[in-house]
Amino acid sequence: MVSLLCNPLATVEQLASSPSQADGVPMDLETSLRWAGCTLIQSAGILLQLPQKTIATSAILFQRFYLLSSLRSFALLDTVHASLYLSSKLTEHPTKPRDIINVTSYLLLTPSPSPISPPPGKTDPPSTPESYYVPESTYYAQRTRLLAAETSILKSCGFQTHASLPYTLCINYLQSLSALSGDVVRRSFGHLTDALLSPSLLYLTHQPNALAVAAAYLACRECGVKLPGGWWEVFDVEREELGFLVVGMRGVAQFVDEQVKVWRGRGEGIPWGLEEVDMCLERRRVMDEAMQA
């Protein structure tokens, strides 16, 4: 059941029928919110000094959860908190709920290098600790929701929390191709981490060996490292699958740029809570009606 090379994957039916879209969330908004959640996980994970193993597991749990649950039933922010908390336990780097909540509050309220943070200049005076301080009552409310969301995640994936990651496989593959160098590894890992944000849910549709091969392929191309023809077949990846993944991984940078523009241009914030999602949908409905009129 659990293997180093095998992850539970989404079925075609699951990918075709999104519970969020059935609940009235348009596809582009769902894609955008999934991106926002994963970006917050990645940024918060870095500030919490969690290893990438924990961060990637967290992003995968997050994506698995919204494969089977609606964004209108489970708030984005609570799921982000809970998947970080759960993955920190699963990968033996336990983190306190308080630390997670403090860090996400900081990221969402002050300018930072993260694409999820408000752009600099908007808050003209330099941010002070008070500007991202979490009041105790807010903390307790968020913590309670975090713990409930944690069990919901476990329930929705049937406790299939195992997530095999492609990072170490990628090192092995590069080593066996005698293409191991710091630069190639850095770029491969970059592509693997990018792929966590992909709108095509690459980690829910492809096994780690294919992801590792695609990242190694791209990195070697970028660094001008020549590899023997058809080498990906040795690692059980078809040319077609490789091609799909390469396009998917290369598209992430552009996708992220678009998302950042989308949210910065709108002025309204990302709907992290359930009420905000409802408000966002209502605004869209009004806009659509105005367009039609």
Residues lying near other proteins in the complex (CB under 8 A) are found at 1-11, 14, 64, 67-68, 85-86, 89-90, 92, 94, 97, 146-148, 150-152, 154-162, 204, 207, 230, 233-238
Report the residue number, 97 or 115, with the smaller CB distance to other proteins.
Answer: 97
Residue 101 Cα to chain centre, angstroms: 17
CA distance readout (Å), 30 to 35, 72, 134, 142, 281: 9, 10, 28, 22, 11
Q: How far is the CB of 15 from other proteins (least distance, A)?
A: 11
Q: How far is the CB of 74 from other proteins (least distance, A)?
A: 13
Report the residue number, 32 or 209, with the smaller CB distance to other proteins.
Answer: 209
Q: How far is the CB of 180 from other proteins (least distance, A)?
A: 17
Report the residue number, 1 or 291, with the smaller CB distance to other proteins.
Answer: 1
Report the residue number, 21 or 123, with the smaller CB distance to other proteins.
Answer: 21
> Which amino acid type is present at position 57?
T
Number of Cβ within a 10 Å radius of residue 143 = 17
DSSP 8-state class, residue 181: -
Helix H or strand E encompassing 108:
helix 97-109
Q: How far is the CB of 197 from other proteins (least distance, A)?
A: 20
CA distance readout (Å), 96 to 42, 109, 208, 238, 265: 17, 20, 29, 43, 35
Q: How far is the CB of 52 from other proteins (least distance, A)?
A: 15
Please give the span between the terminal C-alpha atoms of the chain, in angstroms, as a whole number: 56
User: DSSP 3-state assignment of 164?
Assistant: coil
Q: How far is the CB of 53 from other proteins (least distance, A)?
A: 10
Report the residue number, 17 or 151, with the smaller CB distance to other proteins.
Answer: 151
Report the residue number, 236 or 258, with the smaller CB distance to other proteins.
Answer: 236
Report the residue number, 2 or 279, with the smaller CB distance to other proteins.
Answer: 2
Q: Cα(48)–Cα(276) distance, rounded to whole angstroms?
A: 26
And the tokens for 116? 């999820």
Q: How far is the CB of 8 from other proteins (least distance, A)?
A: 4
User: 199 near 238, Cβ under 8 Å?
Assistant: no
User: 70 near 19, Cβ under 8 Å?
Assistant: yes
Single out the residue of 168, 249, 157, 172 nearest to residue 203, CA to CA. 249
Q: Position of tokens 């903390």?
A: 139
